[in-house]
Structure 1
Amino acid sequence: MTPFLRLVGWIADLRLAIALLVLIAIASGVGTVIPQQESEGLYHQIYDPQPWLGVLPADRLLWLELDHVYSSHWFLALLSWLALSLLLCSWRRQWPALRAALRWVDYRTPRQLSKLTVAETLSSADALADLDRLDNRLRQQGWQVLRQHERLAARRGVLGRVGPLLVHAGLVVLMLGAAWGALGGRRAEQFLAPGRSLELVDSRGHSSLTLALDQFTITRDPAGRPEQFSSVLRLLRANGPTEEPEQAEVLKAATISVNHPLRFQGITLYQADWSLAAISLRLGNSPVLQLPLQSFPQLGDQIWGLVLPTRPDGSDPVLLSLTSEQGPVAVFGADGNRLGQIAIGGDPLEVNGLPMRVTSILPASGILLKRDPGVPLVYSGFGLALLGGGLSVLATRQLWAIAESGRLHVGGLCNRNLAAFARELPELVGGLSTAEADPGIREA
């Protein structure tokens, strides 16, 4: 055997394919544990004080590409290796097995049938007539029959031989889709306030669509915990940078919520999160001012606020903070002491001699945008693999019969569930002749 053929045999080894599947599963598990595609600063913040598994600080983790496992060079190499292994296995084993199953085998002597896994010999007063009856019975039950004068060959369930090939093809297509999505896909999360729009650009930087948010609602339980977020969206045709969203052509209008995304032209929009965008308030007799809010992670999770001066010269600042769009707004002085709280739309609070009234809070919808060109291939791969798995359950059965003077010899093969085929064979030949079965029959 040449070195090339030995290499091909090693790559097509089932044990190697199983080992690659285990490695890919472990790598996928690592990708779910470590945050993916975040900024380098986040990894230094998390893993420098406490390395992952006690041995991998941020620099080593980034060098190993564990911050983007599914698009890393080594993960794509594992997928390519497994795909090559499956292709070679199909070429060396499954394809020849399918060709062999489609090829008719002609057994000419009873001695050949006696060596088959399941065999039976019947005494018959008219063997040719019994062969004709067996031919008709097999055809009626869906068998394919190749008839000669004194013998026949029949088969059933040949489609099951296609199953392993389809499984391998489905896995290869699935891995191609996953690799294409990892290399050519895009993922971004944006916070959008009602009444505002976001321009979507393609991979070449050209504006393709405009996303407009008309309404965003947060459904809360009696305890005030958020249960569901919903966004009323419009996808508009981006005809020009100066065109107003109200004048653009509406391509799609839909409401998205958690677990109910919107898919359009290869883009999937998920309702992922929520935030607080702005606060509207009045200071004394001033008009309503809408001021942007920012997150304060140093104060805790989901705390927003702003620092607001209470004097024309910018002195005596206060901190306004809140945790939901329902309020209330807590007010803290420059020394950190709590000065009071303001109910949304309620009575004003006097802060440093200045009446302060909050009229409304503007929430923002956190929308996750994903463009994955490999999704059709992934779904097609899953479909092929499932179809192949279903077909693989079908047993391929082959049967031969030879008529000679006073005897009918029958034998068969089956690639799975041999016991059921051994029980089926007497039923197929039962009633063909009034004579008893030869005591010397062989049945396995």
Structure 2
Amino acid sequence: MKALPRLVALISDLRLAIVLLLVIAIASGVGTAIPQRETAEFYHRLYDPQPWLGLLPGEGVLALQLDHIYSSGWFLGLLAWLALALLLCSWRRQWPALRASLRWIDYRKPRQLSKLSLAESLATDQPAASLEKLGQLLEGKGWQIRRQGDRLAARKGLLGKVGPLLVHAGMVVLMLGAAWGAVAGQRAEQYLAPGRSLELMDSRGSSKLTLALDNFSIQRDPAGRPEQFTSQLRILEGDGSDGSLLKQAQISVNHPLRFQGVTLYQADWALAAISLQLGRSPLLQLPLQSFPQLGEQVWGLVLPTRPDGSEPVLLSLGSEQGPVEVYGADGSPLGQISPGGEALEVKGLPIRVASVLPASGILLKRDPGVPLVYAGFAIALAGGGLSLVATRQLWAIAEEGPGPGQLHVAGLCNRNLTGFAAELPQLLSQL
């Protein structure tokens, strides 16, 4: 039984809470540096040739759960440990301090007041009248007053004692929301071409909403580098067959759309399809695929130039603006084709590129813990603001004497004691 209080004291130690906060901050930084929730092949391809920090290959990143830090068991365990430490600290220290501040302390003798941080004695012919006037002055300044015969007690700023409790409570609620979102949240990235739609399923697999992309544009700088991506979206009810429009909006990078618990982010872009004309054929819209072995953002397709499928060529491009590079089966360059421009004769076959269809990369996130995270922030901020409120206490005793009497006044303050020390003589000068 004796070990339990020591264990509680250890867990609620402020130094331990600071260490936990530091470890959580470092882990969050690692989660920012390492891409999260990718496939195992992605981490092997990224870190096997060059281990992360020169120490961890792909297998090490996966073994330590660094590919999904925020939902890993050890990270959630750290959050739970910190939450428990804050709760125990509030229970052992902050709650007793609040209860103690609500109790009135009664000092009966002037000698008791002289031992406090601030103490003054004022000579007066009418100590009782001065005491009464002091009470009226304090009440006019918003102090709570308690009179008992020849003495009074006053206090102001008790809300400041609630601040630390609210800060701890807000942090616990915030961590609860973050953990709930990491465990129960959903995240998926989809590429949509204009005119296409995507059904949004709930946890039971039934279609609740349909996301349709009407238009997607890429804004580029003069050098051709992408600067901004913009998608025109429609959200339809159910599978969209009845055409019931619920929301129409535009999203771009740093300007997401939030709707019924789902957040849609403009995350990336790709090339979906290319419209070709082979000789005198009608326009053919053919899908493009990514070629990571040729570069980070390179798309293309293999196109046969003969009816029997022989003599293929590779069409590749890195932008919807082109140009389209044409390579032979041996990798030799055969020319370039500009979208919307003239045809290029390749092995006797004229090939014209009419247009290239880009695709919008949309990140869909459903995080049930977001309301708790926002509520936790609000509670913690409110508590931080209240913690700045100084709690002041003041006592006064009227002492009658054979000659001039005295009014003994003393006070305590948990913040800005210097300011309170300068205010007390000004208060007594009004008596």
User: TM-score normalised by the shorter chain: which range applies?
Assistant: over 0.9
Letter in 2 for 1:282: Q
Aligned to 1:440: none
Secondary structure at the residue paired with 1:387? helix
Trace 1:12-23 onto structure 2 (pairs within 5 A): 12-23=12-23
Aligned to 1:32: 32
Letter in 1 for 2:392: R
Aligned to 2:247: 252
Taking structure 2 as the reference length, the TM-score comes to 0.97
- Structure 2 distance, partners of 1:164, 1:376, is 22
Letter in 2 for 1:366: G
Secondary structure at the residue paired with 1:314? coil
Q: Deviations over 1:405-428 (max 9, x none)?
A: 111010011112211111111111
Pick from 380, 388, 392 the counterpart of residue 393 of structure 1: 388
Per-residue deviation at 1:269? 0.3
Q: Give unmatched runs, 5+ long, in structure 2.
A: none
Secondary structure at the residue paired with 1:116? coil
Extract structure 1 runs of 4+ deviating beyond 3 A: none
Q: Deviations over 1:320-376 (max 9, x none)?
A: 111111112121122222222112111111111111111111110000011111111
Per-residue deviation at 1:202? 1.2
Secondary structure at the residue paired with 2:97? helix
Aligned to 1:184: 184
Secondary structure at the residue paired with 2:293? helix
Secondary structure at the residue paired with 1:401? strand
Question: Are residues 1:204 and 2:199 paired?
Answer: no
Kept in 2, the 8 Å contact 1:192–1:366? The answer is: yes
Aligned to 2:329: 334
- Structure 2 distance, partners of 1:408, 1:153, is 13
Secondary structure at the residue paired with 1:168? helix
Trace 1:58-97 onto structure 2 (pairs within 5 A): 58-97=58-97
Trace 1:351-430 onto structure 2 (pairs within 5 A): 351-405=346-400, 406-430=405-429
Q: Deviations over 1:212-250 (max 9, x none)?
A: 0001011112222111110000111115xxx63xx3211
Taking structure 1 as the reference length, the TM-score comes to 0.94
- Structure 1 distance, partners of 2:328, 2:349, is 13
- Structure 2 distance, partners of 1:276, 1:148, is 83
Q: Deviations over 1:359-396 (max 9, x none)?
A: 11111000001111111111111111111111111110
Q: Give unmatched runs, 5+ long, in structure 1.
A: 433-444
- Structure 2 distance, partners of 1:86, 1:388, is 14
- Structure 1 distance, partners of 2:19, 2:178, is 19
- Structure 2 distance, partners of 1:25, 1:346, is 54
Aligned to 2:260: 265
Aligned to 1:435: none
Kept in 2, the 8 Å contact 1:321–1:330? The answer is: yes
- Structure 2 distance, partners of 1:57, 1:283, is 47
Q: Deviations over 1:74-101 (max 9, x none)?
A: 1111110110000000001000111111
Per-residue deviation at 1:299? 1.2
- Structure 1 distance, partners of 2:378, 2:342, is 61
Letter in 2 for 1:186: Q
Pick from 291, 301, 306 the counterpart of residue 301 of structure 2: 306
- Structure 1 distance, partners of 2:13, 2:69, is 26
**Identical counterparts, % of pairs:** 72
| Count, aligned residues | 427
Q: Deviations over 1:289-335 (max 9, x none)?
A: 00001111111121111110010000111111111111121211222
| CA separation of 1:163 and 1:262: change in aligned 2, threshold 3 A | same
Secondary structure at the residue paired with 2:98? helix
Question: Are residues 1:149 and 2:144 paired?
Answer: no
Kept in 2, the 8 Å contact 1:211–1:235? The answer is: yes
Letter in 2 for 1:205: G
Kept in 2, the 8 Å contact 1:238–1:248? The answer is: no
- Structure 1 distance, partners of 2:157, 2:297, is 61
